[in-house]
A and B are shown apart, each in its own frame.
Chain A
Amino acid sequence: MTKSGQPGISRRSTLALMGAGAVTVATPWVARAQAKTIKIGMPTILSGRVAQLGTSSRNGVMIEVDKVNAAGGLAGRQIEMVIRDSKGQPQEAARVARELVNTDGCELLLDGEASSGSFAVHEVARDLGVLCIHTCSEASSLTADPKQHIPNAFRSVRQGIHDSIVGGSYAAAISKAKGLKKWATCAPDYAYGRDTTGEFTLYLKRFAPDVEIISDSWPKLFQPDYTEVVTKILQAKPQALYTCLWGGDLTSYIDQANIYAMFAQMEVFAVNMADYTALTVVKNLPKGIHSGNRYIKTFPATPENAAWGDAYKAKYNEYPTNWSWQNATAVMLLSEAARKANSTDGKKIAEVLAGLTIKCPFGADGTVTMRGDDHTLIGYAIGWGTTIPQEPYVPEVKAGDWKTILELEAEWKKSKGYT
């Protein structure tokens, strides 16, 4: 073999490169050994069409983390959040979650993913055994389905089934009072839209058996033009419309339906309307849209909730979203569980978390509970009301009855074969 005599990468450079590589790989382990702070990892969606989910979740977390740190930290350890974008892709959510635990040394996870991403992170929690609180996914099956159950995963989020029970009973009462028998539905064409609409109509018909669904529309998620859907509904001439469109889809829909004066022709029940992201973006918010509460600082009408909403607005110059309160609640639960366990060990925190009740500004009675048997949040403020075009946007919210919710939820779980 002859030497080429060409200049190239020298042995010394190669060794230097390998050394640099080894240092890069080893750095996180060295860093972890030195840590007095506790790192909490959070994969979420910070880019793309639903980036607001991630940014408002991050805000909700940080406002509470700052409070916990100021009060001495999580069982004496200052919290350092490591929040990373998954771009809304489940394989990225799984990768980021693993990286946060394996490389960045995060000891706990807050899962700020929606839909499929949350199930991907759930599998990571199952594999790694790390304590994980889901803070955005409303899919009921995430905690209701026993196949999903693992001792180290919890959910600090409202659930689709709870919303449907409260929405169904509220809509049925209005239906009876106003004689609304012909209904139309309009929902985004994916699991959330189909499941939520199905459950809403199930409970609407249960409480008001003479209701009839005469038209259903399934626009695509993130569809820009709703003309076809609006005209289809108008042609069917229903007396009431139910929609679970959300975010930008809901605001586009309302702006476009306003052109056809749709809201003067029927009662509209939009479960996701009463969230500041939707309320403040719609150009001409019609009066009298019925909506479930998402986050609104006037419900529950307590000084604690109002103060929390104002503090958030003061800090971030925008109102909180539904995701904000859910993420804030996760930190509140963690903090209280760590205090009771007097430890930051995931297993010990998990043992305390199951069945834990804490004081919370978002509780229906000032408290929320992490239910022990399926690790999901109950007792949060849930209700329906009607909109007005200016603050407080939804002046009166009729609170749902948690006793009824829990009874019907148990029945629903049985019907699904979950219990």
Chain B
Amino acid sequence: MTELQAERAAESLGVPRIEAQSKRLRYLDVLIAVAAFAVLATLPFLFSSKALLDFVIRCSAFGLFATSLNLLVGYTGMISFGHGMFFGLGAYGFGLIMQRTGVPIPVAFVGTLLITAVVSVMIGAICVRLKEIYFAFVTLAFQMLIHSMILSWASLTGGDQGLRGGIPRPVFIGIDLTNHIHLYFVSCALLVTGLLLMRQIVQSPFGYTLRMIRDNAGRASFIGIDVWRAKLTIFVLAALLASTGGIIMSLFVSGAYPEFAYWTISGEGIFINMLGGVTTFLGPMVGTVLLLILNDTVTRLTEYYGIVLGIVILFFAIGLRKGLMDFAVEWYEQRRGGGRERTR
């Protein structure tokens, strides 16, 4: 779908022209991204805590994964229960390329994204035709298929013991990913770039098309939008970003394990979205930070992590009935007197 078509679609729905506004927002987004990276880059100089760096690296991996899931869940209305397969694919693809071929890291990175693109096009082409619960379950089925393949194809993947022997991380353009600080900076750069990219996607006419499909796919189709193609495109883009999250995780643990492609990872992604909220762009990122803080602190204090997590889920699901960012934004708007329409 072209921008012209999207604008026509927007105009036909009575939505005001957004071009000028979106251009301004785009510059603002870039500025915010640069500022965010600058803040993250100063952290290692302010704090000597390696745990803090580990935390940010893990936030980068899960943040990219969860925000990319929100492109499907929050923006397109496609509730995927199998998004974790691309996280796993990223980790395994990158780990295997590095272990078996010894190519430079950027080549392995691009290679992994290419593999993910091919696999996600094949899986997406089948899944995006389906609606709601059928889509959710078929994505889950594909995830279990990939997980089973990882377990069974032991000669390639190491089976349930994962990719062993460490992932080689040769120096490229002066960056040594065996050095923790270097890994931290690369993770932050990937996170900020990934988030900026996703922000551009959701603020573009294509992003608005996705919202239209979410709200009324029939109407979108009637005004000439190829719904299948739009859904497939966002499915593949989300897969690529989830895969990038998986690559960061594989670098962090220097390996890849079948659990990365198991349904529990997808479940965590859904839970992060519930926790942070799906109606704001940064909701999943906030959810990621919350979940990881919760995980790290509760695990330090007790082994009954499951009970604490369950109570938190109940609080958000039954108490707030929305994610934290949704709640915060609504509360802020009410304080401002309400009425101002959110463009999301």
A interface residue numbers (CB < 8 A to B): 6, 22, 25-26, 28-29, 46-47, 51, 54, 84-85, 87, 89-92, 94-96, 98-99, 102-103, 115-116, 119-120, 122-124, 126-127, 139, 141, 145, 147-148, 189-192, 194
- In the assembled complex, the Cα of A191 lies from the Cα of B154 at a distance in Å of 8
With A47-B303, A103-B51 already in contact, the answer to whether A91 and B254 are too (CB < 8 A) is no
B253:A190 contact, CB within 8 angstroms: no
With A84-B300, A127-B178 already in contact, the answer to whether A91 and B260 are too (CB < 8 A) is yes
A29:B48 contact, CB within 8 angstroms: yes
B316 at the interface (CB under 8 A from A): no
B182 at the interface (CB under 8 A from A): no
Closest 7 A-B residue pairs measured CB to CB?
A: A102-B50, A46-B303, A147-B165, A90-B257, A103-B51, A123-B254, A191-B159
> Restricting to B220-267, which residues have a CB under 8 Å from any CB of A?
249, 252-255, 257-260, 264
- In the assembled complex, the Cα of A190 lies from the Cα of B295 at a distance in Å of 28
A116:B162 contact, CB within 8 angstroms: yes
Partner of B50, one of A47, A51, A103: A103
Could you show 30 A-B contacts with beta carbons less than 8 Å apart?
A: A47-B303, A47-B306, A84-B299, A84-B300, A87-B299, A89-B259, A91-B252, A91-B260, A92-B295, A94-B252, A94-B253, A95-B54, A95-B296, A98-B54, A102-B50, A102-B54, A103-B49, A103-B51, A115-B160, A115-B161, A116-B161, A123-B166, A123-B253, A147-B164, A147-B165, A148-B164, A190-B159, A191-B160, A191-B161, A192-B160
With A84-B299, A91-B259, A95-B58 already in contact, the answer to whether A25 and B164 are too (CB < 8 A) is no
With A47-B305, A148-B164 already in contact, the answer to whether A102 and B159 are too (CB < 8 A) is no
Distance in Å from the Cβ of B164 to the closest Cβ of chain A?
A: 5
Distance in Å from the Cβ of B295 to the closest Cβ of chain A?
A: 8
B interface residue numbers (CB < 8 A to A): 47-52, 54, 58, 151, 154, 159-162, 164-166, 178, 249, 252-255, 257-260, 264, 295-296, 299-300, 303-306, 335
Q: Which of A119, A122, A141, A192 has the most CB of B within 10 A?
A: A119
Q: Name which residue of chain B comes closest to A123, CB basis.
A: B254
Partner of B164, one of A99, A102, A141, A189: A141
A145:B164 contact, CB within 8 angstroms: yes
- In the assembled complex, the Cα of A6 lies from the Cα of B331 at a distance in Å of 13
Q: Name which residue of chain A comes closest to B335, CB basis.
A: A6
- In the assembled complex, the Cα of A403 lies from the Cα of B325 at a distance in Å of 66
B255:A139 contact, CB within 8 angstroms: no
Residues of A within 8 A of B253 (CB): 90-91, 94, 120, 123-124
B54:A47 contact, CB within 8 angstroms: no
B257:A91 contact, CB within 8 angstroms: yes
Partner of A102, one of B51, B259, B260: B51
Partner of A123, one of B255, B259, B295: B255
Residues of A within 8 A of B154 (CB): 191, 194
- In the assembled complex, the Cα of A91 lies from the Cα of B252 at a distance in Å of 9
Given A89-B259, A116-B162, 20 more contacts at CB 8 Å? A25-B49, A46-B303, A47-B303, A84-B299, A85-B303, A89-B264, A90-B259, A94-B252, A94-B253, A99-B296, A102-B50, A102-B51, A116-B258, A120-B162, A120-B253, A123-B166, A123-B253, A141-B164, A147-B165, A194-B159
Partner of B151, one of A99, A147, A148, A190: A190
Partner of A139, one of B161, B249, B257, B295: B161
Distance in Å from the Cβ of B255 to the closest Cβ of chain A?
A: 5
Q: Name which residue of chain B comes closest to A193, CB basis.
A: B160
Distance in Å from the Cβ of B42 to the closest Cβ of chain A?
A: 13
Q: How many A-B residue pairs have CB under 8 A?
A: 106
Residues of B within 8 A of A6 (CB): 335
Q: Name which residue of chain B comes closest to A98, CB basis.
A: B54
Residues of A within 8 A of B50 (CB): 98, 102-103
Residues of A within 8 A of B161 (CB): 115-116, 119, 139, 141, 191
Q: Name which residue of chain B comes closest to A89, CB basis.
A: B259
Q: Which of B151, B165, B300 has the most CB of A within 10 A?
A: B165
- In the assembled complex, the Cα of A119 lies from the Cα of B299 at a distance in Å of 21
Residues of A within 8 A of B162 (CB): 90, 116, 119-120
Residues of B within 8 A of A145 (CB): 164-165
Partner of A116, one of B47, B51, B58, B257: B257
Q: Which of B52, B260, B299, B300 has the most CB of A within 10 A?
A: B299
- In the assembled complex, the Cα of A72 lies from the Cα of B332 at a distance in Å of 60
Distance in Å from the Cβ of B333 to the closest Cβ of chain A?
A: 13
Distance in Å from the Cβ of B31 to the closest Cβ of chain A?
A: 16
- In the assembled complex, the Cα of A147 lies from the Cα of B58 at a distance in Å of 27
Residues of A within 8 A of B164 (CB): 119, 122, 141, 145, 147-148
Q: Name which residue of chain B comes closest to A149, CB basis.
A: B165
B255:A120 contact, CB within 8 angstroms: yes
Q: Which of A91, A96, A192 has the most CB of B within 10 A?
A: A91
- In the assembled complex, the Cα of A87 lies from the Cα of B265 at a distance in Å of 13
Residues of A within 8 A of B258 (CB): 116
Q: Name which residue of chain A comes closest to B151, CB basis.
A: A190
A99:B160 contact, CB within 8 angstroms: no
Distance in Å from the Cβ of B77 to the closest Cβ of chain A?
A: 30
- In the assembled complex, the Cα of A92 lies from the Cα of B299 at a distance in Å of 10
- In the assembled complex, the Cα of A278 lies from the Cα of B160 at a distance in Å of 24
- In the assembled complex, the Cα of A194 lies from the Cα of B154 at a distance in Å of 11
A90:B165 contact, CB within 8 angstroms: no
Residues of B within 8 A of A139 (CB): 161
Q: Which of B154, B161, B300, B306 has the most CB of A within 10 A?
A: B161
With A85-B299, A98-B50, A102-B50 already in contact, the answer to whether A116 and B304 are too (CB < 8 A) is no
Residues of A within 8 A of B296 (CB): 95, 99
Residues of A within 8 A of B300 (CB): 84
